[in-house]
Amino acid sequence: MNMEVSFLADHQWWKNAVIYQVYPRSFKDTNGDGIGDIPGVIEKLDYIRKLGATAIWLNPIFESPHVDNGYDVRNYEKIDPGFGTMEDAENLIKEAKKHGLKIILDLVLNHTSDQHPWFRAARKSKDSPYRDFYIWRDPKDGREPTDWASFFGGSTWAFDEQTGQYYFHLFSDKMPDLNWENPKVREEMVKIARFWLEKGVDGFRLDAVIHMAKDSRFLPVRNEDAEDETDFVLAEKYYANLPRVHDFIHEFNRAVKKDFPDAFLIGETASADTNLAVLYSSPAREECDAVITFNYLGFDTEAKDKRIPENWQQGKWNLAAFKKVMAKWQKDLYGKGYSALYWNNHDMPRLLSRFGDEQMYREKSAKMLATLMYLQWGLPILLQGEEIGMTNLKLPHLEDYEDPSIPGLAAAARKAGCTDAEILQMVQKRSKDTSRGAMQWTDEKYGGFSTYAPWLGINDDTREVNAAIQEKDPDSILQYYRKLLEIKKSMDVFKSGTWEMLAEHDPNIYAYLRTYNRQRALVVCNVSKERQTFTCPELTRTKWSCLLNNAGNSKEIPGRIVLSPYECYVLLQKNEAINGRN
Ligand code: NOJ
């Protein structure tokens, strides 16, 4: 093995992992209340293992008032009764281990619920010993201390009548931000992490981790001449990726890994660019082991109407922009850091509805997109249901959705003259609720998810799209995912090989070459509804064999490939095919 790549395939378990994201509320309900639960996850461990995942990331399961589906934690050391008991959680950890699956919990470090005992104590008086667990400021000129906008709309400041001060919240006003400058906060968070590691979990997704440090000068973003005084503006430069956040993460990492060196820390690093991502995830810096970026998922909205926020307006996917950013991530992090490969999560629409074709080419486009993404360099994270080609949850009425940002959108859209039907369409395409529909296990009522109506809803295609049918069909999306993940895990070239983009300027093809020592693999994807041809010098110079194809083709590969709509090939350079396997 040459020196350059030696550390890529090292002993750390996450370098060869495939993570399956379970959104527990919507995964499997065993007690018939319409809400998924931990015993439901235990019931499906065989399924997850058989898919080829090696770890589960569970969205928050801690006790919570559920203002933000568990990201508002009331007690980090208790299980939310809706999900089960502590005994259930312990069972899950034990059973997962038996199945060879690691458990990664979602740890919310940046904020708590306003119902958390720390905040309840903090807001009682300015002298509370917990006051400094949060960020408080006096009003400025009788109003909010800064003009910063929160991610959930409105100001980052909420006024507390009792003590006459504002507290800081980056998300909902029911989710006050913790004050990480306070060493006691940092200690408490380490204690919580240790509590769970002692129970046997294998790591944490660190929610909103880049936001833990704030610029404590609390300066305004806009100058004084700004026109609309009531408007708040996003002020990432004051609350995202500040130098201080690296100190906090490093300290947390050291404290956690002292006794648990194999604990995996993956940071949600939303807006961080590749330079920052390297800082967050370079092994030498001891911060995160990997990062989840938002940088390459986008380029599919269009500000057709300026009065409506762009993120609600679905546009055509700009493949060229995606290629450019993805290439940058592949190159800049290779050998330096580590990043997730994913198409969707619980905060965004599903991949098939967004980048694929829900109708005629549902299966083919789902298989192609998975191939495109997961054979690149990095850590695959799949969202429950994508492996069977689930699409966006389409509910019949606006009121059926829970996403709290919908009323704001609806108001802006109505003002712009949109009808309710048009607004509903926007929601069905862009709301984060679209990925939170109940998992489609069978063709039974409620898709085998529950015996009771699922809390948010379930798509009405569950008769045709479900895991049970796909289990029996050798050509299903599910079976394809199994093969794909096996290839990803078993071949060094896909685990550790270098990555080089081919057909860079082709508007319809996404292709790349991976090389590891003498092993070479070529992935060619037609991202369009039309037939495309692909060739490159590598293809004509050497012989290739077909390892995987999503259209039933496996014959000899000519120097020029014709790809049907959404077709993809995974090719291995001949003679190396046998040696290349682990
Ligand atoms: C990121 C989570 O993925 C999202 O669902 C949540 O609302 C915010 N962080 C706040 O915790």
Q: Would residue 128 count as lying in a domain?
A: no
**Same domain? 557 vs 510:** yes
Report whether residue 492 contacts ligand 1, using a CB cutoff of 6 Å: no
**Same domain? 466 vs 522:** no
Per-residue b or e along 463-473, where b marks 16 or more CB atoms closer than 10 Å to that residue's CB = eebbbebbeee
**Same domain? 84 vs 12:** yes
> Which helix (H) or strand (E) element contains residue 421?
helix 420-430
How many angstroms separate the alpha carbon of residue 106 from the centre of ligand 1?
10
Which ligand 1 atom is at minimum distance from the Cα of 270?
1
Q: Residue 408's beta-bridge partner residues?
A: none
**Same domain? 451 vs 562:** no
Environment class of residue 15 by beta-carbon count within 10 Å: exposed (0-12), middle (13-18) or buried (19+)?
middle
Residue nearest to atom 6 of ligand 1 (CA): 71
Q: What is the CATH classification number for the domain harbouring 283?
A: 3.20.20.80
Domain end position, chosen among 422, 457, 483 = 483
Q: Would residue 420 count as lying in a domain?
A: no
**Same domain? 314 vs 456:** yes
Report the pLDDT value the prediction gives residue 468, as an integer from 0 to 100. 98
Is residue 384 within 8 Å of 419, Cβ to Cβ? no
How many angstroms separate the alpha carbon of residue 59 from the centre of ligand 1?
10
Residue nearest to atom 5 of ligand 1 (CA): 347
Q: Residue 267's beta-bridge partner residues?
A: 206, 291
Q: Would residue 405 count as lying in a domain?
A: no
Domain end position, chosen among 483, 518, 550 = 483
**Same domain? 316 vs 442:** yes
Question: Tokens 């986008």 map to which residue?
Answer: 298
The helix, strand and coil proportions of the chain, stated in percent and rounded to the nearest 5, come to 35, 20, 45
Report whether residue 53 contacts ligand 1, using a CB cutoff of 6 Å: no
Name 499's Cβ contacts closer than 8 Å, sequence gap at least 6.
330, 331, 334, 376, 377, 512, 513, 514
Q: Would residue 582 count as lying in a domain?
A: no
399 assigned to active site: no
Is residue 190 within 8 Å of 255, Cβ to Cβ? yes
Name 46's Cβ contacts closer than 8 Å, sequence gap at least 6.
99
Catalytic site residue from 72, 268, 289, 576:
268
> Which helix (H) or strand (E) element contains residue 168?
strand 165-168
Report the pLDDT value the prediction gives residue 4, as an integer from 0 to 100. 45
The C-alpha atoms of residue 356 and residue 391 are separated, in whole angstroms, by 10
Report whether residue 171 contacts ligand 1, using a CB cutoff of 6 Å: yes
Which ligand 1 atom is at minimum distance from the Cα of 152?
7
Q: Would residue 90 count as lying in a domain?
A: yes
The C-alpha atoms of residue 140 and residue 138 are separated, in whole angstroms, by 6
**Same domain? 295 vs 370:** yes
Is residue 201 within 8 Å of 79, Cβ to Cβ? no
Domain end position, chosen among 483, 515, 544 = 483
DSSP 8-state symbol, 439: P
Report whether residue 152 contacts ligand 1, using a CB cutoff of 6 Å: no
Q: What is the CATH classification number for the domain harbouring 564?
A: 2.60.40.1180
Residue nearest to atom 2 of ligand 1 (CA): 207
User: Do β-strands 75-79 and 62-63 pair in parallel, antiparallel, or remain unpaired?
Assistant: antiparallel
**Same domain? 385 vs 503:** no
444 assigned to active site: no
Is residue 67 within 8 Å of 113, Cβ to Cβ? yes
**Same domain? 91 vs 213:** yes
**Same domain? 541 vs 472:** no
How many angstroms separate the alpha carbon of residue 171 from the centre of ligand 1?
8
Tell me how far CA of residue 456 lies from CA of 33, 396, 399, 551, 571, in angstroms: 12, 12, 11, 35, 42
Report whether residue 208 contacts ligand 1, using a CB cutoff of 6 Å: yes
The C-alpha atoms of residue 128 and residue 130 are separated, in whole angstroms, by 5
The C-alpha atoms of residue 536 and residue 501 are separated, in whole angstroms, by 11
How many angstroms separate the alpha carbon of residue 405 from the centre of ligand 1?
13
User: Do β-strands 340-341 and 379-383 pair in parallel, antiparallel, or remain unpaired?
Assistant: parallel
Report the pLDDT value the prediction gives residue 442, as an integer from 0 to 100. 98
What's the number of domains the chain is made of?
2
Report whether residue 71 contacts ligand 1, using a CB cutoff of 6 Å: yes
Over its length of 582 residues, how does the chain's per-residue pLDDT go in tens digits? 344 444 455 689 999 999 999 999 999 999 999 999 999 999 999 999 999 999 999 999 999 999 999 999 999 999 999 999 999 999 999 999 999 999 999 999 999 999 999 999 999 999 999 999 999 999 999 999 999 999 998 999 999 999 999 999 999 999 999 999 999 999 999 999 999 999 999 999 999 999 999 999 999 988 665 566 557 999 999 999 999 999 999 999 999 999 999 999 999 999 999 999 999 999 999 999 999 999 999 999 999 999 999 999 999 999 999 999 999 999 999 999 999 999 999 999 999 999 999 999 999 999 999 999 999 999 999 999 999 999 999 999 999 999 989 998 999 999 999 999 999 999 999 999 999 999 999 999 999 999 999 999 999 999 999 999 999 999 999 999 999 999 999 999 999 999 999 999 999 999 999 999 989 999 999 999 999 999 999 888 889 999 999 998 877 687 889 999 999 999 999 864 444 443
Report the pLDDT value the prediction gives residue 582, as an integer from 0 to 100. 34
Name 295's Cβ contacts closer than 8 Å, sequence gap at least 6.
271, 272, 273, 274, 325, 329
Is residue 508 within 8 Å of 323, Cβ to Cβ? no
283: left (phi over 0), alpha (psi -120 to 50) or beta: alpha
Specify the amino acid at residue 436.
R
Report whether residue 212 contacts ligand 1, using a CB cutoff of 6 Å: no
Q: Would residue 461 count as lying in a domain?
A: yes
Q: Which domain covers residue 53, as residue numbers? A: 3-113+183-398+435-483
Q: Which of 64, 71, 266 to mutate to test the pocket of ligand 1 (most atoms within 8 A of CB)?
A: 71
**Same domain? 449 vs 477:** yes
SS3 516: strand
Report whether residue 108 contacts ligand 1, using a CB cutoff of 6 Å: yes
Report whether residue 72 contacts ligand 1, using a CB cutoff of 6 Å: no
Residue nearest to atom 3 of ligand 1 (CA): 347
Catalytic site residue from 144, 207, 357, 387:
207
Q: Would residue 221 count as lying in a domain?
A: yes
Closest by CA position to 294, among listed 247, 352, 339: 339
Task: Strands of 233-367 (E only): list them.
Answer: 264-268, 290-292, 340-341
**Same domain? 51 vs 73:** yes
Q: No. of H helices and E strands in the chain?
A: 19, 20
CB atoms within 10 A of CB 297: 20
Q: Would residue 492 count as lying in a domain?
A: no
